[in-house]
Structure 1
Amino acid sequence: MDTILELADEYFFDGVYAKLVPKQVPLANATTNFLGEQLATTSAWERDSDLRICLSLSVFLIVGATLFYFASATFSYFVFFDKEYMKHPRFLKNQVRLEIESATKAIPGFALLTVPWFWGEIKGYSLLYEGTPATLLEWAYLALTVPLFLLFTDCGIYWVHRYLHHPLLYKHLHKPHHKWLIPTPYSAYAFHPLDGYFQSIPYHLFVYIVPMHKWLYMSMFMFVNIWTILIHDGNFISRSTIINTSAHHAVHHLYFNYNYGQYFTFWDRFGESHRAPTEEQYDAELRINKKTWAQQAKEAEEIEGKVLKTSKQKVN
């Protein structure tokens, strides 16, 4: 993020801060415009100012996440998403619009919450490193950090996600995301800001405890965001029993208490929360059969009712 912010400073933020918070410069060093007015060429806020870094990160993350969301979700929606699913009885009226509204409200919140993590990276508190590996051992370690990152974050997200289904938390934090029983790619970011932030913590935490090359980390960070879109795309091609596919995640949205994992099914099997997709996800005809939809809707309503009932009992 330090290199990205440096580029953003050079091509955008330097000029903005020079105008918003100008620095007084000696007359001999000043530039003038065509009216002969003195212009400040620098800002009183230096690039290494904590306030400036946090403000720049806030703007960059909100704008960047919003653009990424619309670009990737729109691409997935028009290329992969099966529009027949929009006829499902649990697909809400104007759902795509509602998902987009929910996501655009959530993005600023969880983006701002992640600013301290990126600030720490820029300030050198993480274990990110740079440079080209010089030895075979360094290359081997570089490659090893990829599965380490996936395994670590999959474990973390599983437990965070599972606890978000606890009756005391579900109604307040995670229920907004389960409003979309039949999700579209636009639902990927359509959640409570704290929900999205808590599930992102393992991504950030990893590089504070495990050394990782900064560009590899940025690549993996992009990958997990793309993955989040893809598991909501309703395109059930893979029948993997190891990878937590979009079919597995569709089961999670329908039946709530299963398939909390992000990439793999291991932790769900370990935690006895695994529910394998069936032909109702994989078979093209059965997937859009009205009897199948009716049964899905009935079971989903029964499970949701139990969850909300338990939630009320816990609160009381």
Structure 2
Amino acid sequence: MDYLLAVVDPRLTEQVYPTSWTEDYWPRQLLTLFTLTLLFAFVMYFSVAAVCYVLLYNRCSSLHPLFKPRQIVSEIRRTLSTMPFIVFATSILFLVEVRGYSRLHDGHFWRLWTLVEAATYVFFTDMAIYFLHRLLHTPRLYAHFHKPHHVWKVPTPFSGQATTAIDSVLLSSPYHIFVFLVPLNKILYLIMFSMINVWTIAIHSGGYNVPQYLHHHVMDSQHHDIHHRLTNYNYGQYFTLWDHIGGTYLGSSSGISRVITSSPPTSELCIRRKSGGEFKDYYETLRQEHEKKMSARQQDYERQMAQRQMDHEKEKLDRLEDSKKDSIGSHGKKMSARQQDYERKISQRQTDHEREKLDRREDSKKNSIGSRLQREFASDRMERLRGRYRRLHNIEIPAIIMESASMEMP
């Protein structure tokens, strides 16, 4: 982008910007980059989409039941409403690159190493976009950011950029992240960035199909049509490598893709339209026949889904009953173990209680025997003292005095 700034920016010095804004002043560079990128985006979008619409797009796809009324007008309106915000975010990244914070270089363009840089750029961006695209299809992010792009079940070239600003900035971020990690030629960077925008519009055209021997390796319109209608397959940008690795690849030859992404048999209608014949009645007949076929297929699909739901509910109930039985069995085992512990504790308590009773009984017996012996000893002693005093003094001592004396003597 610094090449474009060097060419365009000096011409705007006197006409647009104040003289105090030098060429290295970052607001001036940002404003110039925003203007150039916005102009480039609009020209690229309308010119490439118009060419793809004329050369690649099957205009008989408008007969498809999923094709919305005034769909192309809605796609252009959404693109025009989000384009300035997308371009502003891209201009900020361009400004950081222009001011020398990236690994872009001015090396020779016509050399073998340039092919290595281009192959590395394509490989890295294809891998990063696959994982970012798959991340945007998670329920929370999909509902807020990416779902508006999938409103168009039958995409046209004008739906390539018809999305939210955050969705577009996230999916385009790998193109800018790469130049901060790996050296890349500046001219090659501009060419690759332009070709990516062309590719994005072309795979939404419905008629950009690669040869059959490359169908399982290169992403084309058939793969992206399947992605728009089934939403959980074919997340890649250029190749199907990461879809094969991640298990999200679905080719146009598979049965489910033929059923869900099938279009009305419009070959005869297209021939009559090109020849200028009257086709209004035939168009209505084709639409009615296709709607009958699609309704029958839809009924079969709903029947299968209902059967699957019933089988799933039955499996759920069986698992719930098995878990209840297991829980009851484990609970019974736990309760029996607890009951055994409880009975063991009760028997131990009874044993301890009986032992304590026996100990108390023995202690009471010992205490009663000791007190009886003590009383007998005290009475004998008292009689001996009484006889001693009587012999010494020939007097009679009262029993209470002798009793107290016997208690005081050692």
TM-score, length basis structure 2: 0.62
SS in 1 for 2:13: helix
Match of 1:201 in 2: 173
Matched residue SS, 1:56? helix
The correspondence for 1:185, drawn from 157, 160, 170, is 157
* Alignment check: 8 A CA contact 2:149 2:163 kept: yes
Q: 1:76 aligns with which of 36, 41, 52?
A: 52
Asked if residue 214 in structure 1 is aligned to residue 186 in structure 2, the reply is yes
Q: CA deviation at 1:17?
A: 2.6
Superposed displacement of residue 143, structure 1: 1.2
1:68 deviates by: 1.1
Pair 1:6 & 2:19 matched: no
Separation in 1, partners of 2:298, 2:7: 53
SS at match of 2:204: coil
Quote the RMSD (CA, aligned, Å).
2.4
Q: CA deviation at 1:236?
A: 4.9
Task: Report if the CA contact (8 A) 1:89-1:293 is conserved.
Answer: no
Distance (whole Å) between structure 2 residues aligned to residue 236 and residue 227 of structure 1: 10
- Deviation, structure 1 residue 296: 11
In structure 2, the residue corresponding to 1:78 is in which secondary structure?
Answer: helix
Query: What is the distance in 2 between the residues matched to 1:144 and 1:269?
Result: 24
Residues 186-207 of structure 1, C-alpha deviations (whole Å, 9 max, x = no match): 0000000110110000001111
Counterpart-to-counterpart distance in 2, 1:113 and 1:82:
34
Whether contact under 8 Å (1:89, 1:297) holds in the other structure is no
User: Is the Cα–Cα contact under 8 Å of residues 163 and 169 in structure 1 kept in the other structure?
Assistant: yes
Q: Is the 8 A contact 2:64 2:263 kept in 1?
A: no
Secondary structure of the corresponding residue to residue 123 of structure 1: helix
Separation in 2 of the partners of 1:144 and 1:272? 28
Distance, in Å, in 2 between the alignment partners of 1:272 and 1:119 is 38
Question: Unaligned regions of 5+ residues in structure 2, if any?
Answer: 266-289, 303-410
TM-score of the two chains, using structure 1 as the length reference: 0.80
Residues in 1 aligned to 2:26 and 2:191: alpha-carbon distance in whole angstroms? 26
2:202, 2:208 within 8 Å by CA — same for their partners in 1? no
Partner of 1:308: none
SS where residue 217 of structure 2 aligns?
A: coil
Structure with greater helix percent: 2
Distance in 2 between residues matched to 1:295 and 1:153, nearest whole Å: 40
Q: How many residues align?
A: 270
The higher radius of gyration belongs to: 2
2:236 is paired with a residue whose SS is coil
What stretches of structure 1 of length at least 5 have no aligned partner?
A: 22-42, 303-316
Higher RCO, 1 vs 2 (CA within 8 Å, ≥6 residues apart): 1
Question: Aligned to 1:124, what secondary structure does the other structure show?
Answer: helix
Q: 1:236 to 1:112 in 2, by over 3 A?
A: closer
